Each structure stands twice: as structure tokens, then as C-alpha cells.
């Protein structure tokens, strides 16, 4: 019942070497692009059923999310928290852990960083304050994942449920903090104190792209290298692929499990921090962008490869930013993005299934 | 045991030209078979000969790609297990097909009309009467998970008869039984044949085939290579029958059993024991898995551990290897206690464990051969340096071992799950025997392997011991133990029931020890 | 605090516990059927939402609450059909598909609601209740327990029907075998895929009715994402109940009480922030899991697709 079942739909390794690099590339293109296209197509059908022109919608998404300079910058900035989330999910899924609590970890860390940001920025130089915020966020995330981690590592309690519960708990707790503990007395709308623009993460080279993008890229690349090149990463992958073999090999599975939760939740939490200190500046009551679950299909699509994840996160960011524009213009609310992601996940699973069957038959 | 004279009547079941293909292998190739009532028809063959696939097709789990199955003379595709049961074909599989959390009676009630209230009392009575008619006594209200494997098998046989089976298929039914249990099953088969039922008995053991069969069909690599009809079988004695079967199977006068050859040279008597185990106990669910085990092994000595599966052997091996904590007792390596050391530390001291669960525990199927060869050394130099992988070292190590142990693999990057069972075993042996192994625990090392790999594996075990490795050989194959071991201990219910020297009396005494302690 | 022991508070609490508990009960019973058969149904939250939306839509359009429940059942059934097809028949990963179905249902219902009702946000009229004579006159708990909409009684009755079914019918045994050792069930001649499909569809139906109850009886309207974890709580209930429907009932009441504490406390005049109260049911779930998580006994074949004669 562990998430090593994940490896059934998305193999940890690259697909087996088929004769010729061209054939392999074609195969990869098929199993990766077909799900994306199919998802867009089917979602377009949903739009049609709801009375909206899908071409107009997608056109607007592309235009506002990618083809306009302003939109492109916004999309690139949006990538920052998403990349951290992807990094956190890669670590968890490769180790066979279903960390579905990323939304709670994200939000709680965002609130605490939002509260701690302004005082830190006043007391300490810029870089130090921002770094401390990230460290604080990681600590918050790790702490929030401790209970599910211990329950899974030492009691074998399924983490799908515990992490989900912690998300609901975390969302409510975050709201309590915003409305009561960290409320900015100067505003009428309940929110935390706002971090001054000058104290936030610097923008890149005179654009409006948040510096968090660089941090996010670094995070994903580091996670990828850790999982594929280091002994620690290999140990995590062994636990994820075959827990019994991990025990047989003498790996300290409970301790590794807790470590995985801490790292994964810490990264998800840093996503929240990066969003606050980079773009948002504060947390309003009842704010919950709920990126966590939406990033899951992207990571599967990338077969847990860090570099591929970056590409898909970019596509999702475009969809997300463009979608927000489309919501205003065409009246299609952002819920639509959830539908696209859901269809993508299902189609991806189907494509993997067909591919697997085809490979089995070819070996006959 | 000789056969009672069966009716040479028309076959109930006939296979004509049955063929079944799987990715990469032809499991059955144009097999013809005829099954007659009142006859025990043995299907004899090595692992991989295609026996289980044939049985799966007869019981409705698989469909043949070519050929036909004739029931009572009429061609009849067997579409599902339900259909097979309806045709009167009952199967008892090698792995018990009873739901462990249900009682025997409840298992019998599976598949009845869904709104019906299962009449437990009536079913229990029916079960008991049929069981008694066969000379068996099992409590029908017992939860099947609590019964021994032998009892579960018997319950399944009674169930097949209750369903009106005219053909009873027993798939490798003796694999998990004591010598006495095997005799009882053989007698049961003969009784059923005496009642007119057609019994198909699948096995890879020549002795059982000869003892219990009326007719023997020999399968090899998917093809039927020969058949010994009842008249001929009755005319041969065991040695002649064995020679004939071997001739049919291998086409030449090969040695009859996969023996490595030559009597073992006993180790130097003055050698002090390298591994000493005292009063070892390991907790289990309910009763202790291992209780008060004491043993010792000297360098170069092979200590065999016999016993039916599930009597604590795996837990004992795991405790010795450091995978799980012991609740009591101590383990000494070279005179020093190692109880506090983990798997890695024990490994570095030379204590190795070759597990029987090759893919479930011993390797990670999706990972390449090269990494699996280092699965227990992740992070160690020179393969990792400051936590980072060093691919050249890893590859070099893998190439050397693959060559030395003759592992047949397309490459060192191939996922180990793609290799055949025999080659996965070679990977395990290569991993555990390399790098100054001093004490090696083998668990069922040749289980499920073909003949050649079995011989090669046993040779390696022998060679390693001759080179000074203190060896513990856990096996359910008595022949293997008699061939390789210097002494044989018998494990039952987590305890050592006794230890015997491997002399001419060993077979009898081991059999006695196995019965004396359990069903 | 002296407001706590008043009749008003207690009545409100018990009333709310039932109102909030019935969807949990139905979700938990449904999940229990699935899990017994060996299917880990993570998509149950999506099934409830689909049932809530469709239930509301039908009730609003037709003016009949009963038809609304039918619609709710249909909504849950639709999502369950997808799950049965993808996971039971094709054998795709149950967790991945479950997450996808939940995400998709969340998005679709929110989307549909936006296009149809976002401007008007209509409400349903209160549904007629069915008072049980004599019992409903008992002070405090009478009105709360015995003067409710018939679906409440049906849900409680279903608990005992299921308990009987699990233990006393051949179907119950088949279900247990499907989750314990599907190969044994197959060898006994029962269609494993068929049993599991039926189980998943039953779950969807029950979850859908639960969702419809939440929307039509509990709130009187539909709000996107309104289930707010009720389906997942249902999974917890099923996991902890160890195969006994009565435990699901007790658990649902407990968590329902937690959920209804906000309103009850307001009635009692105690001013605790809503968000703090909203944390309570999830905190209670975590506490229960910490205390009893290890004892959750799950069928051996849970989460694994069944393939006949798999090599």
C-alpha cells in the first residue's frame, strides 16, 4: 500500500533503450506530449459544453501568459513557488511517500514568514533576513510533517490520510493566525503586515521577474542531483522502490522516512515563503492558491526528472497566469485549471498503461 | 507403492496440440495429453517446463493460443474457473487458494447465490463426512489462516470433491510437506483414484512420480518429451524408471539427481567455530518466531538447516544477519558478540545472507545490475566518495563480478528484474560471496532454478566452503542438504529439534525429527 | 461557559452532530465496502462533491428533495463508474486515479456551479422532517434524534443492514475474500472484477447521497468545495472501523459533533473563532490516528489490482 505503487505508473528509470536514439526520442515524445495534447483537447471540450470557445480561451491563455512580455514575466515569477513544490514532491514520490500535505505546509510557512518578514527586515540586512525567512519556512514545514512522518515510520499508518488531514488542519490554523495572532492592525481587511517591496526578493536584471525563480531552479536541480547522484538519494530510491529490500540491505528505513518527510515538507514550505517574500508580500485571510495537488500531475509527467519538471512547471505557470486573465475576460474561473490537471493525470495513466502493454507484447 | 489396476477407459480430459506463448517464451508447445478416470497421471518436469501453464489452462485461468481441450471427447474452451468447476475439473494450486481470514466453511460458501445466508452447519457436516471418507480430519470451522499448509491443502482437496470434481489437479502439492505428509498425500491420491477420480499430479521429483503415479508424462521446456504408460511403469523398478525418465528428459545418460559429485571432504576437526549462537530468540506474532536456538559453525563447515517452510528459518537468518532485533540470546563472531551491530557492520565483518526472496527482498527489480551488486554497500568507498557516486568504480566492480559469476545479462545497466531467476540468483551469490565473506547464510538457494543453474549454485556453495567459509544452508530440499551438508539441524516451530551428522542414517533421522515435532 | 450545559446548546450540538454526521456515515460505509473488496477509494471526496452538486441541481430544478437524493446518487455513481473502469477493469493505480477524480470533481462542480448559480446563489427551502411519535418528544435529544428527514433514519438503518450483509450473506463473504485473497475468490469461480466493480459503484452511490444530504439538508445550497474533507474523514472512519459498520456510525457521530461545535457554541453564547472550531474535527482525527492508528486492520490485497493468472 505504499507509494512504491507509484512506480507502476511512472517508472523511476528512463524507458528501456529502444534501438536508435531517434526511436527513443519519438517514444518519449509520444508518452509525454500525447497526454498534454489530449488533456487540452478534452478540457477544450468541457469549455465547449459550458458555452465558451476553447480556441479563444487557449488563445488568450497563450497571449496573456506567454506572448506578452508582462505575462511572460508573471509566468516566470509564478514558477518560483511551483518549482519548490515540484522539488518537494520529487523527493517524496521517489522515496515512495505520498506527501499530499504540501498545501498545508505551504500555507502555514507562508503565514509565519509573512509575520516574521517585516520585523526581520527591519532588524537585519536584506540578505540575512530573506535567508532566515527561508530557513524558518523549512523548519515550519518539517515540523508540520513530523506527526504524519512518525506515524508512517513507526506505526505504519498510511500517510495519504494523515498528510491530507494536516492540510485541512494547517489551512484553518493559518487562517486563525492571520485573523488573530498576526493581524495587521492598520488594515480593515484581515491580513498580515505587508513586507515592503524594497525588502522583498530582488527582481532579476531589471525585469519584474521574481528572484525566487532562480532559487526555485536551484532547488529543483539540487534535488535532482541529490536523487540521482548521491548515496543518500539512492537510499531514498531504494526505500521507495522496494521497502523490504531496503531493510534487507540494512538501511534505516524509519529514520530515512522521517528525513524524507522533513525534506519534502521543508521544500513545500519554502515554496510558500518564496511566494510571500518574492511576490505577495503578505497573506490575506482565506488566501489559499492550492498549488500543491495541481503540481502532482506535472511531476508524474516528468517521470520525477528534475529538468523535465522545470519545463512542465513552466507550461503550468503559463496556464495558470493566462487562466487568471481569462477568468476576468471570458468569465471562466480558475477552477478550470483543476479540471485540466485532473484530465491530464488520467490520460497520462492511460497512456502509461497502453505503453506498458505494448512493450510487453513486443517482447513476445 | 504400485498402482492398482486402473480402468483403461476413454479419457475424461484430452489436450490436443496445446500451445501457449508469453512475451519472450513459449510456455507450452504442441502438447498432447490424455487423462483417464481412476488413474494417477503424473506430469513430471523441471521448473520452467510448462507444467503450471498447462494447469492454468485446464482450470480456466488462461486460454491456449493454439490447440484444443476435449472434455468427454468434445472440444470445449474452458473460459473461467467457474466454467472449469462446472465441467468437473477441480484444482489445488501450489499456493493455497483459500482466503486466510475466512473459515474453511466460509471458503466453501464463496460463490453461492449472493443473498443467501450460508448454511454453515450443513456445509460443515458435508465437509466432515467427505473428509472422513478420505481419512482426513480437519475442523471445518477453523480459520484457514491458522491451519498448517498441509491441512489447508487437504481442505482444498475436500472442497474440490464436494464440488463434484471428476478430475483433480494437484499442482506441486508436496512442495511444503514433511516426508510423512508426502506419504499421506500419496496415499490419498491413490484412494481417490480408487474411487474413479482422474488425478493429475504435477511434480519435479522423480521419486514421487514413481511412487504415486500410474502414468508419467514428461515435460521439458514446453514440450512433452515422453510418456510412460501404466503397463511399462509397473514393469520397471525405481532405478530403471529413473534412468528411462532421465534419458527422455536429457537424451543422454546423465547423472540422475543434480549432484555436484564426490563425497564431501569433512572440515579439519580442530577448527574452532567461527559463528556461535546461544539461546537466540526472536519475537513473532503470538508465539515466538525463534526460541532458544543454539548452533555453531566452523570455518569450512556446512551446517544444513532442514524443516518445513515457515518454522522460523527466515526469522533466524534475518536475526543473524542483523535485519531484526533478537529478544534474547547472543551471537558471537570470532568470539566477539555482534548483537549490537547492524546489517552493514556485520557485513563488513564477513557475515553474509543470501535471501530466498530474490525479487521481493534481495534486489530492487527496477534498478540496474550494477547497483544491485552494491545494494548493501551504498555510500561506501571506493564506489561513493563523500556521498557522491563514482560510476567508473561501480561499473568496473559490476563487470568483474558478472564475469566471475557467469551472470547472463544484456548489460550491467539492465534492470535486474529482467533477468531469469537463475541469473538473479547468481547476482545475489556474486554480491554476498565477494569481498572477504567469512560466514554465509543461504536460504533456499536453488529453489525454482533449472538444473544447470542449480548444479552451478551448489558448486559455488561447496567451493566457498572449501575455501574456508563457515556456511549455514537453509533448505526445504532434503536431497540438497544430504548432498552438501556436514551436519543437519532440523527446525520446527522456531526451535532446533535436533542435529544429526550427515551419514547414511541421516535421511531417516531427519525425517523422524521433522515429524516428531509437528504435523 | 455556563451557557454550555443549557438545553439549547445540547440540542444544537446533537442536532448538528447528526446533520454533519450523516454525510460522514454514508461516506464511511461506502468506503468500507470498497476497502473490504480491496479497493482503496481515494476519489470518494470527488464522489461526494459530484453528489452534492447534482443533488442540489436536481432538487432545485424539480422542487423535490427526494429527487435531489436520486440526483446525488447519480452524481456519485458517475464518478464511481470512472473509477471502476480505470482502476478495477484496467488496473491503473488506485491512488493516482483517486486524486485525479477528486481534483476533477472539485474543478467541474465548481465550474458548473459558477456558470449556473454564481449570480443567484439560490437556496433550497427547508426539507420536511419525519418525526417519530413519542420518541421525538423526549427533551433535548428528542427533536435532534427523532424528528429528522427520513434519509437520516435510512442511513442509520443501512448501517445495520450492511453489518448483517457482511457477516450473514454469501455476498459479504465474497467481498471479504475479494480484499483478502482475490485469487482464492477467482479460483472459487466468482467474478472478482465484477464484485469489485459492484463495490466501487455502491461506494459512489452512497457517497453521492451523502453529498446530496450535505447540500440539500445540511446547508440548503451548494458551495464549491463544500465537502471540505468529509470524504477523507470517511476514509479514516473506514480504516479504523476494522470492518464493522457500527463503528463507522459511532465515529461519524463523534466527528459530526466536532464539526457542529461551531454553531452549538454560538447558540450557547460562547464566542470562539470559527477557524479554531474548524480545526477540531481534523485534530480529532489525528488524535484518534495517533492512539489507534496501529490497530487499523486493512485487507491484504488493498490497493492492488487483480490480474488473473498474473506472471
**Hey, which chains touch B, using 3+ CB pairs under 8 Å?**
A, C
Say whether residue C164 is in contact with chain A using an 8 A CB cutoff: no
Q: Please tell me the least confidently modeled range out of B79-83, B318-322, C128-132.
A: C128-132
Looking at the fold, whether B1 and B84 belong to one and the same domain comes out as yes
Give how many domains chain A has, as a whole number.
1
Q: Which of B256, B276, B307 is the last residue of a domain?
A: B256
Any A CB within 8 A of C212 CB: no
- Reference B173, options B186, B191, B192, B164; nearest CA is B186
**Chain C residues within an 8 Å CB radius of B113:** 170
Residue B378 and residue A234: Cβ atoms within 8 Å? yes
- Count of residues in chain C: 311
Statement to judge: residues B441 and B324 lie in one domain: yes
Segment A329-341, tens digit of pLDDT: 888 888 898 999 9
Question: Could you tell me if residue A323 is inside a domain?
Answer: no
| pLDDT given for residue B325 in this prediction | 83
Answer whether residue A55 is part of any domain. Answer: no
**Which of chain B's residues have a Cβ under 8 Å away from the Cβ of A360?**
23
> What's residue C144's pLDDT?
75
Least confident of A190-199, B130-139, B248-257: B248-257
Q: What is the pLDDT of residue B221?
A: 78
* Same-domain pairing of B265 and B337: yes
For chain A positions 215-244, those within 8 Å of chain B (CB to CB) are 229-232, 234-235, 237-238, 241-242, 244
What element of type H or E holds A279?
Answer: none
Q: Are residues B320 and B446 in the same domain?
A: yes
Q: Do C282 and A168 touch (CB under 8 A)?
A: yes
Which residues in chain B touch residue C169, judged by CB atoms under 8 angstroms apart?
Answer: 114-118
Q: How sure is the predictor about C197, in pLDDT bands with cuts at 50, 70 and 90?
A: very high
What percent of chain A clears pLDDT 70, i.e. is strictly above it?
A: 94
Confidence of residue B479 (pLDDT cuts 50, 70, 90): confident
**pLDDT above 50 (res C311):** no
Q: Sign of dihedral through CA atoms C1, C3, C7, C10?
A: negative
* Cis status, amide bond into B382, omega within 30 of 0: yes
Which range in B174-183, B285-294, B423-432 is most confidently predicted, on average pLDDT? Answer: B423-432
On the question of pLDDT at A4 being above 50, the answer is no
Optimal mutation site among B378, B394, B428, interface A, most CBs of chain A within 10 A: B378
pLDDT of residue C106: 94
Mark yes or no for CB contact C115/A165 under 8 Å: no
Residue B255, pLDDT above cutoff 50: no
Backbone angles phi, psi at A325, to 5 degrees: -65, -45
Give the pLDDT mean for B141-153: 84
**Distance of residue B189 Cα from the nearest chain C Cα, in angstroms:** 21
Element (H, E) at B69: strand B66-71
Task: List, in sequence order, every beta strand (DSSP E) within C220-275.
Answer: none
Q: B82 touching C, CB under 8 A?
A: yes
pLDDT at B489: 94
Q: Which of residues 56-85 of C touch A (CB under 8 A)?
A: 82
User: Is there a domain that residue A325 lies in?
Assistant: no
Cα gap B94→B204, rounded to integer Å: 13
A13 and chain B in contact, CB less than 8 A: yes
Give the chain A residue nearest B379 (alpha carbons).
A231
Q: How far is B35 from B406, CA to CA, in rounded Å?
A: 42
- Provide the pLDDT for residue A106: 96
Identify the pLDDT of residue B250: 64
> Which chain B positions have a beta carbon within 8 Å of C311's beta carbon?
22
- Which range of residues forms the domain containing residue B152? 92-165
B25 touches chain C (CB under 8 A): no
Q: Do both B75 and B184 map to the same domain?
A: yes
Question: Is position A4 within any domain?
Answer: no
Q: End-to-end distance of chain B based on CA atoms, in angstroms?
A: 23
**pLDDT for the residue numbered C125:** 75
Predicted confidence band of residue A360 (pLDDT cuts 50, 70, 90) = confident
> CB-based contact (8 Å) between A293 and chain C?
yes
- Chain C 102-121, residues with CB within 8 Å of chain A CB atoms: 103-108, 110-112, 114-115
Q: Please report the pLDDT score of residue B268 as a whole number.
A: 58
Residue B226 burial by Cβ neighbours in a 10 Å radius (0-12, 13-18, 19+) = middle
Identify the helix (H) or strand (E) that includes residue B80: none
Extended beta strands in B221-322, E state = 223-228, 275-282, 290-297, 302-306
Indicate the residue of C90, C114, C273 with minimum beta-carbon distance to A180: C273
Model confidence at B206, pLDDT cuts 50, 70, 90, reads confident
Residue B422, pLDDT above cutoff 90: no
B435, B454, B480 — which closes off a domain? B435
* pLDDT given for residue C298 in this prediction: 67
- Whether residue B365 is found in the same domain as residue B313: no
* Stretch B203-215: mean pLDDT: 85
Average pLDDT over residues A321-335: 87
Give residue-wise pLDDT tens across range C111-146: 999 888 877 778 877 777 777 777 777 776 777 778
| C169 interfacial to chain B (CB closer than 8 Å) | yes
Q: B429 falls in which pLDDT band (50, 70, 90)? A: very high
C293 lies within 8 A of chain A by CB:
yes
Say whether both B63 and B196 belong to one domain: yes
Higher pLDDT, A234 or B81: A234
DSSP string, A3-58: GGGHHHHS-SSPPP--SSHHHHHHHHHHHHHHHHHHHHHHHHHHHHHTT--HHHHH
Instruction: Answer yes or no: is A259 within a domain.
Output: yes
**Residue B26: which CATH number?**
3.40.50.300
Nearest CA in chain C to A178: C275
**How sure is the predictor about B4, in pLDDT bands with cuts at 50, 70 and 90?**
very low
pLDDT tens by residue, B83-94 = 888 899 988 887
Least confident of A338-352, B66-80, C77-91: B66-80
Q: pTM of the entire structure?
A: 0.85
Pick B375's closest partner by Cβ from A232, A245, A252: A245
Of A7, A12, A229, the CB nearest to B389: A229
**B217 vs B35: CA distance, rounded Å:** 11
On whether both B160 and B200 belong to a single domain, the answer is: no
Q: Tell me whether A15 touches chain C (CB under 8 Å).
A: no
Which of B111, B162, B421 to substitute to test the interface with C, most C CBs within 10 Å?
B111
> Are residues B252 and B271 both part of a single domain?
no
Place of cell 471479504: C176
- Binned at pLDDT 50, 70 and 90, residue B517 comes out as very low
Residues 6+ positions from B172 with CB-CB distance below 8 Å: B51, B52, B94, B202, B203, B204
Residue B122: partners with Cβ closer than 8 Å, 6 or more residues away = none
Last residue of a domain, one of B223, B239, B256: B256
Give the DSSP letter string of A107-151.
HHHHHHHHHHHHHHHHHS-HHHHHHHHHHHHHHHHHHHTHHHHHH
pLDDT in tens, B99-123: 988 999 989 888 777 777 778 888 8
Q: What is the pLDDT of residues C242-269, one digit of tens each?
A: 889 999 999 999 999 888 887 777 777 7
Q: Rounded CA gap, C202 and C32, in Å?
A: 10
Range among A93-102, B87-96, C185-194, C271-280 with highest mean pLDDT value:
A93-102
Residue B355 lies in a domain: no
Is the same domain home to B233 and B365? no
Of B322, B364, B371, which is closest to A242 when you measure between CB atoms? B364
pLDDT of residue B416: 92
Q: Are residues B400 and B270 in the same domain?
A: no
Across B300-396, the runs of DSSP E, i.e. the strands, are: 302-306, 328-333, 336-337, 351-354, 384-385, 388-389
Share of chain C above pLDDT 70, in %: 95
What average pLDDT does the structure give for chain A?
88
Task: Find, in chain A, the residue whose alpha carbon is nearest to that of C288.
Answer: A162
Would you say C96 and A349 are in contact if contact means Cβ atoms under 8 Å apart? yes
Residue A319 lies in a domain: no
Q: Does B111 touch chain C (CB under 8 A)?
A: yes
**For residue A251, which residues of chain B lie inside 8 Å, CB to CB?**
378
Residue B301 falls within a domain, yes or no? yes
Claim to verify: residue B343 and residue B264 sit in the same structural domain: yes
pLDDT digits (tens, 9 = 90+) for B269-298: 567 888 999 989 888 776 668 888 999 999
% of chain A with per-residue pLDDT over 90: 57
Collect all residues of chain A within an 8 Å Cβ-Cβ radius of residue C224: 335
Domain that holds residue A219: 83-306
List chains touching A (3+ CB pairs under 8 A).
Answer: B, C
* pLDDT value at A132 more than 60: yes
**Does residue A3 lie in a domain region?**
no
Per the structure, how many domains does chain B have? Answer: 4
| B388 and chain A in contact, CB less than 8 A | yes
Q: What percent of chain B has pLDDT over 70?
A: 91
The whole-number pLDDT of residue B208 equals 85
Residues C154-171 have pLDDT tens digits of 999 999 999 999 988 888
Residue A213 forms part of a structural domain: yes
Quick: pLDDT tens for A246-302: 999 999 999 999 999 999 999 999 999 999 999 888 898 888 888 998 899 999 989
CATH 3.40.1130 assigned to domain C7-119+152-295? The reply is: no
Q: At what angle do helices B179-194 and B506-516 cross, to 10 degrees?
A: 80
Size of interface B-C (CB pairs under 8 A): 82
Lowest pLDDT segment from B148-157, B350-359, B419-428, C39-48: B148-157
Higher pLDDT, C297 or B497: B497
B254: pLDDT strictly greater than 50:
no
For residue B101, the chain C residues in CB contact (below 8 A) are: 176, 180
What mean pLDDT is reported for chain B?
Answer: 85
As a whole number, mean pLDDT of residues B15-40 equals 87
Amino acid at each position: 500500500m505504499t507509494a512504491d505503487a507509484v512506480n507502476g505508473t511512472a517508472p523511476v528509470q528512463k524507458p528501456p533503450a529502444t534501438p536508435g536514439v531517434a526511436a527513443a526520442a519519438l517514444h518519449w515524445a509520444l508518452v509525454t506530449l500525447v497526454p498534454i495534447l489530449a488533456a487540452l483537447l478534452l478540457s477544450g471540450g468541457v469549455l465547449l459544453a459550458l458555452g465558451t470557445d476553447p480556441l479563444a480561451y487557449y488563445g488568450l491563455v497563450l497571449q496573456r501568459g506567454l506572448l506578452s512580455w508582462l505575462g511572460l514575466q508573471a509566468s516566470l515569477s509564478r514558477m518560483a513557488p511551483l518549482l519548490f513544490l515540484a522539488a518537494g514532491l520529487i523527493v517524496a514520490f521517489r522515496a515512495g511517500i505520498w506527501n499530499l500535505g504540501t498545501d498545508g505546509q505551504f500555507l502555514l510557512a507562508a503565514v509565519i514568514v509573512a509575520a516574521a518578514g517585516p520585523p526581520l527586515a527591519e532588524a537585519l540586512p536584506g540578505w540575512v533576513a530573506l535567508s532566515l525567512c527561508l530557513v524558518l519556512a523549512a523548519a515550519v514545514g518539517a515540523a508540520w510533517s513530523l506527526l504524519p512522518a512518525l506515524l508512517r515510520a513507526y506505526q505504519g499508518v498510511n500517510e495519504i490520510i494523515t498528510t491530507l488531514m494536516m492540510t485541512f488542519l494547517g489551512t484553518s490554523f493559518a487562517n486563525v493566525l492571520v485573523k488573530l495572532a498576526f493581524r495587521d492592525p492598520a488594515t480593515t481587511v484581515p491580513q498580515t503586515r505587508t513586507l515592503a517591496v524594497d525588502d522583498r526578493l530582488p527582481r532579476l536584471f531589471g525585469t519584474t521577474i521574481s528572484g525566487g525563480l532562480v532559487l526555485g531552479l536551484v532547488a529543483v536541480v539540487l534535488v535532482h542531483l541529490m536523487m540521482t547522484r548521491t548515496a543518500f538519494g539512492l537510499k531514498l530510491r531504494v526505500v521507495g522502490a522496494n521497502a523490504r529490500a531496503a531493510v534487507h540491505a540494512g538501511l534505516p528505513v524509519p529514520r530515512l522516512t522521517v528525513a524524507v518527510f522533513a525534506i519534502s515538507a521543508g521544500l513545500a514550505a519554502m515554496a510558500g515563503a518564496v511566494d510571500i517574500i518574492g511576490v505577495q508580500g503578505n497573506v490575506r485571510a482565506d488566501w489559499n492558491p492550492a498549488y500543491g495537488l495541481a503540481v502532482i500531475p506535472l511531476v508524474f509527467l516528468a517521470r520525477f526528472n528534475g529538468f523535465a519538471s522545470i519545463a512542465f512547471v513552466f507550461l503550468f505557470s503559463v496556464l495558470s497566469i493566462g487562466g487568471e486573465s481569462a477568468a476576468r475576460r471570458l468569465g471562466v474561473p480558475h477552477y478550470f485549471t483543476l479540471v485540466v490537471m485532473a484530465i491530464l493525470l488520467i490520460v497520462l495513466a492511460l497512456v502509461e498503461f497502453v505503453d506498458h502493454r505494448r512493450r510487453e507484447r513486443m517482447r513476445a | 507403492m504400485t498402482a492398482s489396476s486402473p480402468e483403461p477407459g476413454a479419457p475424461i480430459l484430452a489436450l490436443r496440440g496445446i500451445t501457449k506463448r508469453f512475451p519472450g517464451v513459449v510456455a507450452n508447445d504442441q502438447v498432447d495429453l490424455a487423462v483417464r478416470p481412476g488413474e494417477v497421471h503424473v506430469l513430471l518436469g523441471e521448473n520452467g517446463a510448462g507444467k503450471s501453464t498447462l494447469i492454468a489452462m485446464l482450470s480456466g485461468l488462461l486460454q491456449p493460443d493454439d490447440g484444443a481441450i476435449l472434455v468427454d471427447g468434445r472440444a470445449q474452451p474452458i473460459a473461467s474457473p467457474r466454467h472449469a468447476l462446472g465441467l468437473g475439473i477441480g484444482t489445488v494450486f501450489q499456493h493455497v487458494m483459500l482466503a486466510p481470514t475466512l473459515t474453511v466453511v466460509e471458503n466453501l460458501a464463496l460463490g453461492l447465490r449472493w443473498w443467501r445466508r450460508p448454511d454453515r452447519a450443513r456445509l460443515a457436516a458435508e465437509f466432515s463426512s467427505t473428509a472422513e471418507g478420505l481419512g482426513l480430519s480437519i475442523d471445518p470451522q477453523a480459520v484457514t489462516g491458522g491451519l498448517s499448509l498441509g491441512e489447508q491443502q487437504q481442505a482444498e482437496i475436500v472442497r474440490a470433491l464436494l464440488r463434484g470434481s471428476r478430475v483433480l489437479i494437484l499442482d506441486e502439492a508436496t512442495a511444503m510437506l514433511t516426508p510423512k505428509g508426502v506419504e499421506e498425500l500419496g496415499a490419498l491420491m491413490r484412494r481417490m483414484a480408487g474411487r474413479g477420480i482422474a488425478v493429475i499430479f504435477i511434480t519435479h521429483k522423480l521419486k514421487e512420480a514413481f511412487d504415486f503415479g500410474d502414468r508419467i508424462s514428461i515435460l521439458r521446456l514446453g514440450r512433452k518429451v515422453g510418456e510412460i504408460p501404466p503397463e511399462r511403469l509397473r514393469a520397471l523398478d525405481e532405478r530403471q524408471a529413473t534412468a528411462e525418465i532421465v534419458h527422455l528428459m536429457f537424451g543422454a545418460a546423465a547423472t540422475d539427481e543434480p549432484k555436484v559429485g564426490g563425497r564431501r571432504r569433512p572440515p579439519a576437526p580442530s577448527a574452532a567455530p567461527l559463528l556461535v549462537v546461544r539461546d537466540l530468540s526472536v519475537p513473532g506474532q503470538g508465539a515466538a518466531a525463534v526460541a532458544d536456538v543454539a548452533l555453531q559453525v566452523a570455518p569450512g563447515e556446512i551446517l544444513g538447516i532442514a524443516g518445513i517452510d515457515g518454522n522460523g528459518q527466515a526469522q533466524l537468518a534475518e536475526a543473524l544477519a542483523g535485519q531484526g532485533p533478537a529478544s534474547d540470546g547472543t551471537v558471537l563472531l570470532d568470539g566477539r558478540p555482534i548483537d549490537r551491530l547492524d546489517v552493514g557492520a556485520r557485513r563488513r565483518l564477513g557475515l553474509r545472507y543470501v535471501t530466498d526472496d530474490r525479487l521481493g527482498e534481495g534486489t530492487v527489480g527496477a534498478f540496474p545490475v550494477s547497483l544491485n551488486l552494491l545494494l548493501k554497500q551504498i555510500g561506501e568507498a571506493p564506489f561513493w566518495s563523500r556521498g557522491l557516486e563514482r560510476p567508473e568504480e561501480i561499473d568496473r566492480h559490476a563487470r568483474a563480478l558478472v564475469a566471475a559469476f557467469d551472470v547472463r545479462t544484456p548489460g550491467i545497466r539492465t534492470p535486474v528484474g529482467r533477468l531469469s531467476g537463475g541469473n538473479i540468483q547468481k547476482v545475489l551469490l556474486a554480491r554476498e560471496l565477494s569481498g572477504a565473506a567469512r560466514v554465509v547464510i543461504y536460504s533456499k538457494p536453488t529453489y525454482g532454478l533449472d538444473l544447470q543453474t542449480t548444479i552451478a549454485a551448489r558448486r559455488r556453495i561447496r567451493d566457498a566452503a572449501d575455501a574456508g567459509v563457515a556456511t549455514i544452508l537453509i533448505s526445504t530440499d532434503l536431497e540438497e542438504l544430504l548432498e552438501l551438508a556436514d551436519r543437519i539441524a532440523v527446525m520446527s516451530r522456531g526451535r532446533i529439534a535436533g542435529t544429526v551428522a550427515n551419514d547414511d542414517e541421516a535421511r531417516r533421522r531427519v525425517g523422524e525429527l521433522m515429524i516428531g515435532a509437528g504435523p | 461557559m455556563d451557557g454550555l450545559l443549557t438545553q439549547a446548546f445540547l440540542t444544537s450540538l446533537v442536532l448538528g452532530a447528526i446533520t454533519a454526521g450523516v454525510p460522514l456515515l454514508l461516506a464511511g460505509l461506502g468506503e468500507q465496502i470498497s476497502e473490504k473488496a480491496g479497493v482503496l477509494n481515494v476519489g470518494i471526496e470527488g464522489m461526494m462533491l459530484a453528489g452534492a452538486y447534482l443533488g442540489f441541481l436536481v432538487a432545485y430544478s424539480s422542487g423535490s428533495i427526494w429527487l435531489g437524493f436520486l440526483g446525488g446518487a447519480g452524481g456519485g455513481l458517475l464518478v464511481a463508474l470512472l473509477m471502476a473502469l480505470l482502476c478495477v477493469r484496467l488496473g491503473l493505480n488506485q491512488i493516482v486515479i483517486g486524486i485525479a477524480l477528486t481534483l476533477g470533481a472539485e474543478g467541474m462542480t465548481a465550474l458548473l456551479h459558477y456558470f449556473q448559480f454564481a449570480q443567484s446563489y439560490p437556496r433550497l427551502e427547508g426539507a420536511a422532517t419525519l418525526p417519530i411519535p413519542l420518541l421525538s418528544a423526549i427533551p433535548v435529544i428528542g427533536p435532534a434524534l427523532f424528528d429528522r428527514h427520513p434519509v437520516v433514519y435510512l442511513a442509520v438503518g443501512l448501517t445495520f443492514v450492511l453489518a448483517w450483509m457482511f457477516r450473514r450473506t454469501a455476498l459479504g463473504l465474497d467481498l471479504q475474500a475479494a480484499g483478502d485473497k482475490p485469487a482464492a475468490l477467482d479460483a472459487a469461480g466468482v467474478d472478482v472484477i465484477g464484485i469489485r466493480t459492484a463495490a466501487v459503484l455502491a461506494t459512489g452511490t452512497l457517497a453521492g447521497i451523502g453529498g446530496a444530504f450535505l447540500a440539500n439538508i445540511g446547508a440548503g445550497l451548494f458551495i464549491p468545495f463544500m465537502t471540505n474533507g468529509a470524504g477523507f474523514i470517511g476514509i479514516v472512519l473506514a480504516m479504523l472501523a476494522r470492518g464493522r459498520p457500527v463503528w463507522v456510525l459511532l465515529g461519524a457521530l463523534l466527528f459530526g459533533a466536532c464539526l457542529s461545535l461551531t454553531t452549538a457554541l454560538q447558540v450557547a453564547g460562547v464566542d470562539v473563532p470559527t477557524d479554531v472550531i474548524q480545526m477540531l474535527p481534523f485534530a480529532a482525527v489525528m488524535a484518534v490516528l495517533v492512539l489507534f492508528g496501529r490497530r487499523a486492520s486493512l485487507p491484504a490485497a488493498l490497493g492492488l489490482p487483480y490480474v488473473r493468472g498474473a506472471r
